[in-house]
Structure 1
Amino acid sequence: MQQGLAFIARHGKLGLIAGLLAGLALPDLAAKLRPWIPEMVAFLLFLTAFRIGPVEAAGGLDALTRTTGSVLVLQLLLPLGFLVGLRLLGLPLTPLAMAIALVLAAPSVTGSANFAILLGHDPAPALRLLILGTAALPLTCIPVFWLLPEFGNLPAVLVAAARLLAVILAAAGLGFALRHWGARQLSELNRRAVDGLTVIALAVIVIALMSAVRPAMTEKPAELAFWLLAAFGINFGTQIAAYLILRARNRADAVPTAIVAGNRNFALFFVALPPEATDPLLIFLGCYQFPMYLTPTLLRRLYDPR
């Protein structure tokens, strides 16, 4: 079993691509899996926390200060700068502009630490950004909402953020506890086996998230192509810009932070958006999975130029 999971871990990028293809080819399965997304995400967080361990995840005071600064830049300064720029230029809040604002204002996706692992980098900074970014969301989203009344019901987003934070803390806490009390030292084989299990979890989750893409392939191909290009531009563009800036500053956490910069859980805001705003963004949500899950494959040369 462990050898099989380690083999999957060695070919993790292919596993993610297989998940994307399965999401396109198996729409009925995607529909059946969709209601189980919260449970699958919690399991993924549990595996990630167990793999990293509480000591490595906690870091020190310097790591906490650096993470806090990154969260404020990623979730507050970037969306506010984008929205203020729109107003100064007199540009309308189109669905594309709304998508960009949502991405920039959101915390990290739950799989960011796993993408760092697949790229051979330290996943702990990404996990810290996930936890602290979600905890800070009720504060960072308030000024963004003030500039975006179209976002709708602020209390609904705060409740959703609190619910997500509770899931993250519970799943991560359980993973840290099991690692601390049951397996303080993981052998390299066991670590790779956990990595293989997370690849399987990521592949299954993406199938559920692709439910809106397959119908659009036949019903709205031009709209799908537009949102697919937008998803790659927003995700990869933000990742590349963040990495180049952080690398120039010799930041040791440049790769995991850049991964988080481009891969955000903007679906969290959907609970507060009116239906007329979310309809086109549902396709964008599905398209967004492509650059997200292709990050370990297409950006490997950027993050590991050797």
Structure 2
Amino acid sequence: MAHLLHFISTHSRACLMAGLAAGLLLPTLATAMAPWLPAMVAALLTVTALRIGHNAVRGAAQDLRWGLGAVAVLQLGVPLACLSVLSLLGLAGTPAALAIVLATSAPAISGSTNLALLLGLDAGRMMQIMVLGTAAFPLTVLPVLLLAPQIGALVDVMTSAGLVLLVIFAATGIGFFLRATFYPAPTPAQIRTLDGASVLAFCIIVIALMAPLNAAIRHAPAQVALWALLAFTISYGLQAATLVALRRTALRSVTGPLAIGAGNRNIALFLVALPPETVAPLLIFIGCWQLPMYLTPILLPPLYRKALFDG
């Protein structure tokens, strides 16, 4: 098993593409896995916590001055700004508006450290951003949920936020315990094993996330195309905007990880936090949302290279 995980770690980019392809080309498998999505999201958080360890949390705490500010802007400022614009346009009650608000309010995906490595960026900084964002998520998402018209009553919002907090604490606590127990001082080989496990979990969950997309492609391809266009616009637009805005500032050293965190958000967290009837209209979008994220290390290296290394 260790050899397999080392192989997966070494070939992360190809494994990500394989997971995406499996989700699209094996609809029966994707459909069978779909009911397990909430449990898989929690398991992915546990694997991520196992990979990063509690020491990363201490490392993230040392960068609170810029880290918390960045998280507040990305997970609170951006979605509230989007919600304000959509409200002025009279679109706040549409499914597309809910997709935009939820996508921009989520923290960086658990696999963002893998994306940073594939793009040649500082994975340690990326890990700090992901840890801080995930820890702060139950607090930053509360105002967004309160203001989003589709979410419902205050009691529903509080229940959703509380469930998110419970899942995050339970999953990360288990992961940190396993790390402290079995890998207190991991060797380079063990790190590769943990990296492989993280990539594998990342690849497995996307298969289930593709299930609604498979059916929609056959019955409503135009709708899928529109959702996919929205997903690519949000993800790549946020990454490009972050790179342009920060590359010549005091935050230049963390601009790359912040750009990854801005455009690659863990919207799947809402699958365990919101009622099924609330997220049901967004299942196709959630499937489409995986496309720009998994294709980031394939399509965007020139953008990152131009902004951070050639500019």
Q: Cα offset for 1:101?
A: 1.9
Question: How does 1:27-46 map onto structure 2 within 5 Å?
Answer: 27-46=27-46
Classify 1:263/1:159 alpha carbon distance in 2 versus 1 (closer, same or farther; 3 Å).
Answer: farther
* Contact 2:57–2:131 (Cα < 8 Å) also in 1: no
Deviation at 1:62, TM superposition (A): 4.2
Q: Indicate conservation of the 8 Å contact 1:135/1:162, yes or no.
A: no
8 Å Cα contact 1:46/1:174 also seen in 2: yes
Whether the 8 Å contact between 1:75 and 1:107 is mirrored in structure 2 is yes
In the TM superposition, what is the alpha-carbon distance from 1:300 to its structure 2 partner?
A: 2.7
* Equivalent residue, structure 2, for 1:114: 114
Whole-angstrom distance in 2 between the partners of 1:60 and 1:151: 31
CA distance in 2, matches of 1:132, 1:153: 28
Q: Distance in 2 between matches of 1:209 and 1:9?
A: 22
Shift of 1:222: 0.8
| Structure 1 residues 222-264: Cα deviation after superposition (integer angstroms, max 9, x where no partner) | 1111111111111111122123323222423222222221122
**Cα distance in 1 for residues equivalent to 2:74 and 2:8:** 33
Q: What's the counterpart of residue 70 of structure 1?
A: 70
SS at match of 1:150: coil
Q: State how 1:116-155 maps to structure 2 within 5 Å.
A: 116-155=116-155
Q: Is the 8 A contact 2:68 2:132 kept in 1?
A: yes
Q: CA deviation at 1:139?
A: 3.9
1:160–1:144 Cα change, 3 Å = closer
**Mapped partners of 1:269, 1:204: distance in 2:** 18
Distance change >3 Å, CA 7–CA 250, structure 1 → 2: farther
Whether the 8 Å CA contact 2:146–2:154 is kept in 1: the answer is no
**1:200 partner amino acid:** L
Structure 2 match to 1:56: 56
Name whichever of 8-17 and 132-141 sits farther off: 132-141
Take 1:191 and 1:272, find their aligned partners in 2: how far apart are those partners? 34
Asked if the contact 1:134/1:161 (under 8 Å) is kept, the reply is: no
CA distance in 2, matches of 1:70, 1:19: 31
3-state SS in 1 of match to 2:108: coil
- Deviation of the 1:142 alpha carbon: 4.3
Deviation (angstroms), 1:197? 2.0
> RMSD value over aligned CA atoms?
2.8
Q: Is the 8 A contact 2:60 2:129 kept in 1?
A: no
Structure 1 Cα separation of the partners of residues 177 and 151 of structure 2: 38
Bigger mean CA offset, 13-22 vs 246-255: 246-255
Instruction: Note the C-alpha offset of 1:45.
Output: 2.7
Secondary structure of the corresponding residue to residue 19 of structure 1: helix
Decide whether the 8 Å contact of 2:125 with 2:257 is kept in 1: yes
Decide whether aligned partners of structure 1 residues 82 and 122 sit closer, same or farther in structure 2, where only a CA change above 3 A counts.
same
Please state if 1:82 is matched with 2:101. Answer: no
Query: Secondary structure of the equivalent of 1:110?
Result: coil
Superposed counterparts of 1:209-224, under 5 Å? 209-224=209-224
Judge conservation of contact 1:48–1:114 (CA < 8 Å) in 2: no
Relative to the length of structure 2, the TM-score reads 0.84
Alpha-carbon displacement from aligned partner over 1:117-144 (angstroms, at most 9, x marks no partner): 4434344444444454344444434443
SS in 2 for 1:107: coil
Residue 247 to residue 169, structure 1, CA distance change in 2 (3 Å): farther
**Structure 1 residues 161, 143: closer, same or farther in 2, change over 3 A?**
closer
| 1:288 alignment partner in structure 2 | 289
Change (3 A) 1:101 1:45: closer
Judge conservation of contact 1:74–1:104 (CA < 8 Å) in 2: yes
Alpha-carbon deviation of 1:211? 0.7
Moved more, 196-205 or 53-62: 53-62
* Deviation for aligned residue 1:284: 0.8
Q: 1:50 to 1:147 in 2, by over 3 A?
A: closer
Which residue is 2:260 aligned to? 259
SS in 2 for 1:248: coil
Structure 1 residue runs of 5 or longer lacking an equivalent are: none
Q: Is the 8 Å Cα contact of residues 129 and 261 (structure 2) preserved in structure 1?
A: yes
**Equivalence for 1:175:** 175
> In the alignment, what sits opposite 1:92?
91
**CA apart distance, 1:291:** 0.9
Query: Amino acid of the residue matched to residue 92 of structure 1?
Result: L
Measured at CA, do residues 12 and 203 of structure 1 come closer, stay the same or move farther in structure 2, by a change above 3 Å?
same
